[in-house]
Amino acid sequence: MEFALKHNTAEKARSACQVITVTQPRKLSAGGQRVDSSNKGMLSAILKRGDMEGKLGQTLLLTSGIAGAAQRVLLVGCGKESEMNERNFARVIDAIVKALTASGARDTEICPADIPLKGRDLSWKVRQATLLLGNSEYRFERLKSGKKAARKGLRKVYVNVARGEAARAAKAIGEAVAISAGMSLSRDLGNLPANICTPTYLAKQARELARGDKSLRVNVLEEADMKHLKMGSLLSVSAGSRQPAKLIAIKYRGAAAAEQPVVLVGKGVTFDTGGISLKPGQAMDEMKFDMCGAASVFGTLKAVTQMQLPVNVVGIIPATENMPDGIATRPGDIVTSMSGQTIEILNTDAEGRLILCDALTYAAKFKPRCVIDIATLTGACIIALGKVPSAVLGNNPALINGLIKSGQQIEDKIWELPLWDEYQDQLKSNFADMANIGGRDAGTITAACFLSRFTKDYKWAHLDIAGTAWKSGEDKGATGRPVPLLTQYILNQVK
Ligand code: BES
Ligand code: MN
Ligand code: ZN
């Protein structure tokens, strides 16, 4: 989808469809009122007749008889002004997309300022509308055979803002387009099945991302390199797989070399069977999404690169399968991590932390400003928080609060869980420095407790995205979260 700015007054719109907002009860936006006057009260007559109350998400498409304006007018309801909020803002955009996809219009003109939402400025409205519209055209169809049906729907969106707001709006659109591109990449990688999206495939995609871009550098460690670095924990997970593990490092350089980078570490389990602690069959296919943390690192780096932000970012992706096999790791096995700490693996299905701990030890070598790991780490996270926010835990309140604020800025919510010392006791092992599981209680927290033992030397936050990285059921598919959150956090480091 393409986006362009416009500065005309509403009655002079020239597009295939002009969107006009209506709030309850039956109140036209300022622009709508101008179109109404230049059409002899035609719109207000329609409202009066009772065809358009202005209820949230209600739409009415007028396809002819509008003098001097666009080919069509779409009236879209915003509900009561007092009830408008961020979620309803998204519903309004959603309704516009639905109505226009069903119509013959291929381009449209919208005026984000007309969606009445207190506490959010024009930049926010323009960016959020652009992001939602851009994401709405995402499809994953490359693995379906047969003729692709000709794509209907919107190709171009004109975003109408006052001339004085042009610079700010252009910046907002640029950010949204970059974030949307990052989310699409992240969703594509997540949606690909594990027989295609292997650790080797991810390494190839990293090189692909960096190809022809001077600000990106990729380095891939092979299993022999990991052995050399004594990453016994990571290697214990890949032991049962025919697919070789890869440790992918992607460096984005947008600032002076001396500037400390934000380091993102993404869990890249391309398929999680549970290993010898085999998972039950129910919905096991969804464990192809167990690399969505890694995918979000790809997506964020894509967005940051597209914007050429003046910051340094390093993405680290431990990529492996978790499979059962004759030489797979057994429950009770004890391994030595790169940090030197020993781990008793009581459950091979708690593999995410086993690969992350070595990647987090490795991360220190980049002298990070902060390290954020992103992982589909625990089913317990879905029990605790459902599928609305991701969980955040960490060792630095400023970092955690910065992430929470970023999530609020771009509607990609996270919620903090406590990382109190009391929980550390649950990881006690009789035979090693720690166990890799902490029992049924507070599973998300004890997983973070495990990681905290490897992140003492820098500011660190952990995002558990088990509930937010993908959707199940009819809408099954990767969401692209938390690319918006991570990109916003990095944007905030610039300003
Ligand atoms: N990838 C899973 C977590 C997961 C499960 C995310 C279901 C989303 C949906 C992770 O590797 C895992 O298996 N975790 C175990 C940990 C347990 C053995 C301590 C879990 O959550 O059951
Ligand atoms: Mn697992
Ligand atoms: Zn897993």
Tell me what pLDDT residue 151 has.
Answer: 72
For the chain, what percent of residues have pLDDT higher than 70?
99
Residue 167 domain flag: no
Distance separating alpha carbons of residues 393 and 61, to the nearest angstrom: 47
Q: State pTM to two decimals.
A: 0.98
Same domain, residue pair 120 and 246: no
Q: Which tens digits make up the pLDDT trace of 131-147?
A: 999 999 999 999 999 87
Tell me what pLDDT residue 68 has.
Answer: 67
Residue 383 domain flag: yes
Residue 86 domain flag: yes
> Do residues 122 and 111 touch, judged by C-beta distance below 8 A?
no
How many structural domains are present in the chain?
A: 2
**Mean pLDDT, range 446-451, rounded to an integer:** 99
Residue 476 domain flag: yes
Ligand nearest to the CA of 376: 1
CATH of the domain at 39: 3.40.220.10
When the pLDDT of each residue in the chain is averaged and rounded to a whole number, the result is 97
Same domain, residue pair 228 and 121: no
Q: How far is the CA of 251 from the centre of ligand 3 (A)?
A: 25
**Mean pLDDT, range 38-60, rounded to an integer:** 96
Distance separating alpha carbons of residues 108 and 100, to the nearest angstrom: 8
- Asked whether residue 11 carries a pLDDT value surpassing 90, the answer given is no
Tell me what pLDDT residue 13 has.
Answer: 81
Same domain, residue pair 79 and 206: no
Residue 168 domain flag: no
Tell me what pLDDT residue 115 has.
Answer: 97
Tell me what pLDDT residue 435 has.
Answer: 99
Mutate-to-test residue for ligand 1 from 272, 378, 381, 463, highest number of ligand atoms within 8 A of CB? 378
For the chain, what percent of residues have pLDDT higher than 90?
95
CATH of the domain at 480: 3.40.630.10
Which residue type does 202 have? L
**Mean pLDDT, range 208-235, rounded to an integer:** 98
Same domain, residue pair 253 and 372: yes
Same domain, residue pair 186 and 157: no
Q: How far is the CA of 367 from the centre of ligand 2 (A)?
A: 30
Same domain, residue pair 213 and 139: no
Query: Two tokens at 161?
Result: 């803002």
- Asked whether residue 89 carries a pLDDT value surpassing 80, the answer given is yes
Same domain, residue pair 89 and 234: no
Q: How far is the CA of 272 from the centre of ligand 1 (A)?
A: 9
Ligand 1 atom at minimum distance from 349 CA:
13
Residue 399 domain flag: yes
Ligand 1 atom at minimum distance from 438 CA:
19
Is it true that the peptide bond before 25 is cis, omega within 30 degrees of 0?
A: yes
Residue 169 domain flag: no
**Mean pLDDT, range 359-387, rounded to an integer:** 99
Q: Which of 135, 161, 187 is the last residue of a domain?
A: 161
**Mean pLDDT, range 467-488, rounded to an integer:** 98
> Which active-site residues does the annotation give?
279, 353
Q: Which of 161, 193, 213 is the last residue of a domain?
A: 161
Same domain, residue pair 194 and 157: no
Same domain, residue pair 185 and 67: no
Q: Which of 161, 195, 228 is the last residue of a domain?
A: 161
- Asked whether residue 402 carries a pLDDT value surpassing 70, the answer given is yes
Q: How far is the CA of 331 from the centre of ligand 2 (A)?
A: 13
Burial of 230 (0-12, 13-18, 19+ CB in 10 A): middle
Q: Which tens digits make up the pLDDT trace of 409-438?
A: 999 999 999 999 999 999 999 999 999 999
- Asked whether residue 9 carries a pLDDT value surpassing 90, the answer given is no
Q: Which tens digits make up the pLDDT trace of 243-253?
A: 999 999 999 99
- Structural domain that includes position 39: 2-143+153-161
Same domain, residue pair 203 and 289: yes
Q: Which tens digits make up the pLDDT trace of 90-120?
A: 999 999 999 999 999 999 999 999 999 999 9
For ion ligand 2, residues whose CB falls within 5 Å: 272, 349, 351
Same domain, residue pair 206 and 353: yes
Tell me what pLDDT residue 293 has.
Answer: 99
Residue 170 domain flag: no
Ligand nearest to the CA of 464: 1
- Asked whether residue 59 carries a pLDDT value surpassing 80, the answer given is yes
Ligand 1 atom at minimum distance from 378 CA:
21
Same domain, residue pair 119 and 255: no
Higher pLDDT, 68 or 3: 3
Higher pLDDT, 184 or 65: 184
